[in-house]
Amino acid sequence: MPLLEDQDPSLSLYADMMQQVPRTAKELFIEVGKPYRKKFFLFFLLGGIGSFFWMTTPYVVAKIIDALTETPSITNIVVWLLVLFVFLRFAEETLWRAAEYVARSFVPELVEDVRMSLFRSTLAKSHYYFVNSSSGQLGHWINQASATTKNFISTVFWNMWGMAFKLVVAAGFLFTVHWALALLFIVWLILLFVFTVKRGRTFSELIADWGEEKSKGAGQVVDAMSNHLAVRSFTTKSYEEKLLAAQQRNIVRSRKISWRHNLITNAAKGQSANVAGLLGLVFAVWLYAEGQITIGELVLFIAYFDAASVGLWKLSWAINELYMDYGMLNNALEGLHGADERQASLQNASSQSEVASDRSVTVVLNNVGFAYPDQPESKILSSFDLKIEPKQKVGVVGGSGAGKSTLVALLLAFYDATEGEILVNGQTLQEQDPSFMRSLASYVPQETNLFNRTIKENVLYAKLDATNAQITRALELAEASDFVAALPKGIDTLIGERGVKLSGGQRQRIAIARAILRDAPLLILDEATSALDSVSEQAIQKALHTLMQDRTAVVVAHRLSTLKHLDKIIVMDQGRVVECGNHNELLVLDGNYADLWKRQKDGFLAA
């Protein structure tokens, strides 16, 4: 990950792009195409004039034939017609190359606009959306959308626009031959176009189904690769292969259904071209025999109709490709669509800077209740009350399922409380932008989230403008400097996907170094030392206690020895606070906390 000063300043063009994933491909193209409207217009203008010049050349040839038929010698008219023919051919080629230059100047940026826009809008989704989504499918849909956009534009530019314009020009020139021939040509075009569009819509839906099956297959591949240790440890390689093979059969089946539909469409279009061509040729010959058209006009009709038959076939294939791309895009956008994270303007813009200056954070939970959207009847928290004073250190304990992690998620605005309210420095958290609370907090989760980047880049993630000295200091305080120095490339060592090249304890030290570097006024530790050995934990606890001084802290832990020196400890059970006090007060109370403490051995809960 490059530092901010090394980033391309052109990335700022994405600042005003869409915040939500569009519902349809049409909405997507309208949104991302706005900055490039002039270039689209210029491309279509140049390509349209070039196509007009190309389709004018058969007309010029017909006039040359008629001129030679009347006077079998090279007259001035024939010479000028030959000059015009050469000019039209060279001009057509020049115009299309100019159109190509225009296209190459903006299409790559537009395609990346799609990727960046979908990336940004997907990251803006709610925490609940990600919990219920497959990362493999999300990545597949974003990449599929950008790749399909490129194919869609290429099809329109190079296979559809020029050919469609040529067919319109051909119909116009045929009126100069005979109105009946032009009418026959136009009726055939309209009927074939309507048939192609109608069949294409169904084809698009079938392609969307195929895209859905492909995304499921991509998700299975990523899932298996991400959990390769489980695959190896349980010797389930053949099982994973069978799962993917079953999904591949679904992919192939859905693809065959779409292509069977397309085969019928192509057969009907091909036969219609044969019938229309035969009728047109017979009628044109009859008109010539009756003296209603010249030999040049007969040749012109044959040339246009033959070119139209080939062109219309290519255009039909282009429309099929468009519908296929359209279906794939709609599938990707439907998959990426979901509830966005709440966005709210800060009611008190100066509050955040005030908090940062005096490092004072007060958190109050009043009668808070919470249930997941898909399980509204199952409350995780109920009638939950808690007040955390400025710079107070609060421990949270409880059995599995007591609601500790949910409490942390609410404090970080990953979810909104379904009942009651959460106040931060007197401001209702639900009325603030989620980034408000997160900007005040340093968070160390139980499962460390690391990128497939260097140690430096992972630590720097907490404070992108930090100096090397600050990074080094954070690693030292987190007791990570020794093992980092022993790595082949030190702080510049790549740690693999999710930090797989590091041990669990090493990963947690990197996460703690992040929190130290962030230096936020609120510290939230969710089992931050659970993966450390006793010696390392003692060293890091000292650093954490130093870090907690002068700031508000919430510490979730099963290892009760890490909590005994905190100002207040709450004991949770079934989503409620059942005990509250400091370590000594809770022991005197002789309740749940005292029972847990008695059953503890070396800081761990006994089974």
DSSP 6: G
**Residue of 570, 549, 545 lying closest to 560 (CA atoms):** 570
Around Cβ 498, how many Cβ atoms within 10 Å? 15
This model's pTM is above 0.85: no
Give pLDDT tens digits for 334-374. Answer: 777 766 555 544 444 444 444 444 567 889 999 999 988 77
From CA 270, how far away is CA 275, in angstroms rounded? 9
Instruction: Note whether 322 and 188 are same-domain residues.
Output: yes
So what's the pLDDT on residue 396?
92
Virtual torsion, Cα 424, 429, 431, 434, nearest 10 deg: 120
| Cα torsion 121, 1, 497, 218: sign | positive
Contact of 580 with 387, CB cutoff 8 Å: no
**Residue of 499, 498, 497 lying closest to 484 (CA atoms):** 499
Instruction: Note whether 114 and 138 are same-domain residues.
Output: yes
Around Cβ 436, how many Cβ atoms within 10 Å? 20
Around Cβ 578, how many Cβ atoms within 10 Å? 14
Distance set, CA 473 to CA 134, 450, 456, 459, 462 (Å): 37, 19, 12, 11, 14
Give pLDDT tens digits for 272-331. Answer: 777 877 787 788 888 888 888 888 778 877 777 777 777 777 777 777 777 777 777 877
The CATH code of the domain that includes 504 is 3.40.50.300
From CA 347, how far away is CA 333, in angstroms rounded? 33
DSSP 399: -
Contact of 541 with 480, CB cutoff 8 Å: no
Candidate from 33-42, 103-112, 197-206, 554-563 with smallest mean pLDDT: 197-206
- When the pLDDT of each residue in the chain is averaged and rounded to a whole number, the result is 80
So what's the pLDDT on residue 41?
92
- The count of domains in the chain is 2
Instruction: Note whether 128 and 259 are same-domain residues.
Output: yes
**Tokens representing residue 110 in the block:** 């537009």
Is the model's pLDDT at 605 over the cut of 50?
Answer: no
So what's the pLDDT on residue 509?
84
Contact of 311 with 167, CB cutoff 8 Å: yes
**Tokens representing residue 539 in the block:** 């060293």
What is the domain range of residue 106? Answer: 18-336
Instruction: Note whether 430 and 329 are same-domain residues.
Output: no
The CATH code of the domain that includes 246 is 1.20.1560.10
**Tokens representing residue 429 in the block:** 């958290």
Binning pLDDT at 50, 70 and 90, where does residue 444 land?
confident
Domain end among 304, 336, 368: 336
Instruction: Note whether 219 and 105 are same-domain residues.
Output: yes
Q: How big is the CA angle at 117 (ends 111 and 118), to the nearest 5 degrees?
A: 95
**Tokens representing residue 135 in the block:** 């990362």
Residue 195 in domain: yes
User: Mean pLDDT over residues 429-453, rounded?
Assistant: 81
Instruction: Note whether 283 and 381 are same-domain residues.
Output: no
Domain end among 272, 305, 336: 336
Give pLDDT tens digits for 270-281. Answer: 777 778 777 877
Q: Give alpha helix (H) positions in 448-549.
A: 455-460, 468-477, 481-485, 504-518, 534-548
User: Mean pLDDT over residues 525-536, rounded?
Assistant: 72
Give pLDDT tens digits for 140-155. Answer: 788 888 888 888 888 8
So what's the pLDDT on residue 233?
63
From CA 115, how far away is CA 146, in angstroms rounded? 5
From CA 312, how far away is CA 186, in angstroms rounded? 12
Instruction: Note whether 256 and 378 are same-domain residues.
Output: no
Please tell me the number of Cα atoms within 13 Å of 78 on its side-chain side.
12
Instruction: Note whether 469 and 412 are same-domain residues.
Output: yes
Residue 527 in domain: yes
Residue 586 in domain: yes
Is the model's pLDDT at 183 over the cut of 80?
Answer: yes
